[in-house]
Structure 1
Amino acid sequence: MSLDWDEVSGFAASLPGTERATHYGGPAVKANGNAFVAPGREAGSFCLLIDRDTVDMLKETDPDTYWQTPHYEGWPAVLVRYDSADPERVMAMIGRAHEQALAKKRPRPRPKKAE
């Protein structure tokens, strides 16, 4: 089974305390003001914002699904291929990222630019 952005974002948005919003100008799902899923720039993958230890574990245990470009290395984010052989694990990781986003402090609003 291959996932797509509508399924991923729909599942993420169904979790408690979430909202569809933007992150760096693109669509995302946030909890407590913190993004935890976004489409990513790489075709065939979405971006999962999750702690670095989990990023390392996912890349090590399933490199066919979880990967990074140099842009994401060293950051708490990993790319996830939609055509994962284990979509149930992908959904579980979205759930974990959601819990982490809820537990983080709400980001301070950025000042509005003067027009």
Structure 2
Amino acid sequence: MAYNTKKMLRDIDEKLIPQFYDPVSDSYKPLVDPRAGSSTLTGKVKNVTNAGTATALDDIACREVTVIAKKGNTGSIYVGGSDVSDTTFGVELKANEAFTFPVNNAKLIYINASVSGEGVSYVAL
């Protein structure tokens, strides 16, 4: 059937709500704010055992990840892709600095450190 043969969705006061027509299910569906909070919030800590070695964050499905350099770090944390290093990085973080990445899995983010044993805490949602 066509979109013009279906009733549009309305709220309790019979006002139209934001929606889209899904031809697969042959129905209107409400639009959901993609920025809305997640039902799952995961916090972790990750250290770089040997400075100069790229280390992936854990495999966690999410919408975004906030990476925070640990407050006890004395050097820099480099954050980026699998090739992250002290010369190839997206973000350089000093102690207590943070950056949020819009990704669908935390494992897409790698960290590296200028000092062995230093690392980050991170929150995925």
Q: When you count strand as a share of all residues, which structure comes out higher? A: 2
Pairwise TM-score range, normalised by the shorter structure: under 0.3
The structure with the greater share of residues assigned to helix is: 1
Relative to the length of structure 2, the TM-score reads: 0.24
TM-score of the pair, normalised by structure 1: 0.26
